[in-house]
Amino acid sequence: MHIPVQPAEVLEYLDVQPDRVYLDATCGLGGHTGAIARRLETGFVISNDRDAESIELARANTADCADRIRFHQGPFSSLRKALDEFGVGQVNGLLADLGVSRFQLTEAERGFSMMADGPLDMRMDRTQQETAADLVNFSSEKDLADLIYELGEERRSRKIARAIVRARPIQSTHHLAKVIESAAPRTGPLHPATQTFMALRLAVNAELEELDSLLAVAPELTAPGGRICIISFHSLEDRKVKQSFQALVRSGRAISLTKHVVRPSEEEMRENPASRSAKLRAVALK
């Protein structure tokens, strides 16, 4: 069962009104999209995602409110085209949940997780060419170490990169996880491959570059008085969101709605452990 992160907070900070238009930039399995659409009467929500398979599942999960949803497939850098496609100049609220969807994490063939053995894929849009296997097997040792250190914030990046290069070719998630664990044994609750897997995913999907595109275009896509709400899950993303929102406030273009980052309640984290690292920030445009 799909459980969206911080659904009550999202609806509150977006200030969803029944006759307005909203953009869910990260549809996933449709949890937030459905929650917004069910609050609408004459308005609608444009629901976007890079993953065609996730969109199809979201359609099924939101069938009860389908008349208030317009689906679009594409990265953040295509959001202007998405609004144009539906004849919308600006939306009244924009949401982006930057987490990986449960579907992507639990489908072994997608290669996002080490929990089940699968191919080293990690592409959110499976029409793109480069996969995680390409990065792992064809990057230089230095490039791999830099990638793992910068995107995964992994201090043992050099040891891990050296072990990966020596173990090539690596084609599966379990194989990669074992190679990493042999080079960097577990020292805490997290599996030692966790940060490397995250780094590879960010790189394969150019996620930080796409986030930069979203943060640049969001104020132009959102109408005066509208809200922008973003949920991030790790420090690299949250830092970018925080700095972008602070710049909007300093320039006089927006008012901060979240003095401090908003985290899930203790109850939500108990019921949905996947929400525990979520960080929500929101602004209202002037």
- Ranking 158-167, 181-190, 224-233 by mean pLDDT, the lowest is 181-190
Interatomic CA distance for residues 229 and 220, integer angstroms: 14
226 and 156 within one domain? no
The count of structural domains within the chain is 2
Does the pLDDT of residue 1 top 60, yes or no?
no
Kindly state whether residues 25 and 95 are assigned to the same domain: yes
Reading the block at residue 106, the tokens are: 């639990």
How confident is the model over 13-24, as pLDDT tens digits? 999 999 999 999
pLDDT tens for each residue of 77-100: 999 999 999 999 999 999 999 998
Query: With 90 as the cut, is the pLDDT of residue 116 above it?
Result: no
User: Is the model's pLDDT at 229 over the cut of 60?
Assistant: yes
68 φ, ψ (degrees, to nearest 5): -110, 15
Secondary structure of residue 253 in the 3-state scheme: coil
Whether the per-residue pLDDT at 155 is higher than 70: the answer is yes
Q: Using CA atoms, how far apart are residues 59 and 46, in angstroms rounded to an integer? A: 12
Q: List pLDDT tens digits, range 243-283.
A: 999 999 999 999 999 999 999 999 999 999 989 999 999 99
Q: Which of 286, 273, 156 is nearest to 219 (CA)?
A: 286
For the entire predicted model, the pTM comes to 0.94
CB 187 within 8 A of CB 174: no
**Is 115 part of a structural domain of the chain?**
no
Mean pLDDT of 100-125: 90
CB 172 within 8 A of CB 122: no
Range of the structural domain that residue 44 is part of: 7-103+207-285
**DSSP string for 95-153:** EEE-SPPHHHHH-GGG---SSS--BS---SSTTSS--HHHHHHHS-HHHHHHHHHHHH-
Say whether both 212 and 193 belong to one domain: no
